A and B are shown apart, each in its own frame.
Chain A
Amino acid sequence: MINDLFSAAFMLGGSIFMLIASIGMVKFPDFYIRNSASTKAVVLGVLLILLGVGIHYNDTMIFIEIFAILLFIFLIAPLAAHIVSRAAVITEVGFWEKTGLSELEDYKKEQDKEAIRNTKWFATSEQDTSQRKC
């Protein structure tokens, strides 16, 4: 009885955080703010939902699996946000107009735009391109 109550509360709380994050995705003005907001709320939402599942099943193996899932999510979610925002800065996705950008100038000077543009990300041979044109 108490177990059910706790698991329901955790899962409800987690899904409310997820819902708020997805409303924020629509409301926030800027790519970077959206990215930072969604990462945090989603990590906490997944944590709460998994805790609710663990309390519901009340089994040792399930707790171990939940621990592994949480470990990987805590490692990987910030990493994904970081990679996406780095790609956005390099490809010059616009900032919000209120953003103070004075300290980003050094970073922009350091970037070699020509080298990034001329990098061959995928090795394509002559044959491949000719086939694609047909």
Chain B
Amino acid sequence: MVILINLFVAVLMTWFTQAIYPGIPNDGFATLLLFAGWNIVLWLLTFFYSPHSFHKSRQISALVFFYLKELLTASLRVAYEVLTPQDHMQPAVVAIPLEAETDFEITLLANFITLTPGTLSIDVSKDRKTLYVHEVYVKAGDTESVRRQIKDGFEKKILKITRNPYQV
């Protein structure tokens, strides 16, 4: 809630700043910079009155940057795979036991898995306890390391945000 209010206040503050100070340019890039600056200021202020939401928004932005980094490495890997003649692919279907329970958590996890390097989420079992993932780079049938990587990376980060609201 505090995060949403901060975003709204940052929009208002950007508008006021551009209305009051005529020296500030009015184009898109300057507006983006102002908006980001006000967001950072408001975020740092939350540390004094609500440390919980301070850490929560830090976790959310860390997740967004991690997601973008994974997307970039995934695309570079696809490009490498296409442009080099020999193939390093050893695909396998991996069943991942899920800790996530609600619709939102499972959807987020499946979406994130689809955009990480070499993976594609296929389906969730009917009792919602396993997620079947098609993974392209499995070294010598070692599905256990793939499973551990996904569970320790994305699932842990998502569950940290969606659950335990008062545990930082």
Task: Report whether A58 and B28 are in contact in the complex, using a CB–CB cutoff of 8 Å.
Answer: yes
Task: Report whether A37 and B134 are in contact in the complex, using a CB–CB cutoff of 8 Å.
Answer: no
Residue A113 lies at the interface, judged by CB distance under 8 Å to chain B: no
Residue A69 lies at the interface, judged by CB distance under 8 Å to chain B: no
CB distance from A45 to the nearest CB of B (A): 8
In the complex, chain A residues whose CB is within 8 Å of the CB of B117: 40
In the bound complex, how far is the Cα of B69 from the Cα of A44, in angstroms? 11
| Size of interface on B: residues with Cβ below 8 Å to A | 42
Which residue among A63, A79, A107 has the maximum number of chain B CB atoms within 10 Å of its CB? A107
In the bound complex, how far is the Cα of B141 from the Cα of A21, in angstroms? 27
Task: Report whether A40 and B134 are in contact in the complex, using a CB–CB cutoff of 8 Å.
Answer: no
In the complex, chain A residues whose CB is within 8 Å of the CB of B141: 100
In the bound complex, how far is the Cα of B29 from the Cα of A60, in angstroms? 7
Task: Report whether A60 and B31 are in contact in the complex, using a CB–CB cutoff of 8 Å.
Answer: yes
Task: Report whether A100 and B143 are in contact in the complex, using a CB–CB cutoff of 8 Å.
Answer: yes
Task: Report whether B93 and A57 are in contact in the complex, using a CB–CB cutoff of 8 Å.
Answer: no
Interface size class of A (residues with CB under 8 A): 35 or more
Interface of B is mostly: mixed
In the complex, chain A residues whose CB is within 8 Å of the CB of B130: 106
In the bound complex, how far is the Cα of B126 from the Cα of A78, in angstroms? 20
Which residue among A40, A55, A100, A104 has the maximum number of chain B CB atoms within 10 Å of its CB? A40
Residue A103 lies at the interface, judged by CB distance under 8 Å to chain B: yes
Task: Report whether B91 and A89 are in contact in the complex, using a CB–CB cutoff of 8 Å.
Answer: no
In the complex, chain A residues whose CB is within 8 Å of the CB of B31: 60, 63
Q: Mark A71-113, 1 if CB is under 8 A from B, else 0.
A: 0001101110110011001000001101111011011001000
CB distance from B110 to the nearest CB of A (A): 6
A-B contact pairs, 20 of them (CB 8 A): A27-B82, A32-B120, A32-B134, A33-B89, A36-B114, A36-B119, A39-B114, A40-B74, A41-B75, A41-B78, A44-B74, A57-B28, A63-B28, A78-B115, A85-B134, A95-B93, A99-B92, A100-B91, A104-B93, A107-B122
| B-binding residues in A (CB < 8 A) | 17, 20-21, 23-24, 27, 29-30, 32-33, 35-37, 39-41, 43-45, 47, 54-55, 57-63, 74-75, 77-79, 81-82, 85-86, 89, 95-96, 98-101, 103-104, 106-107, 110
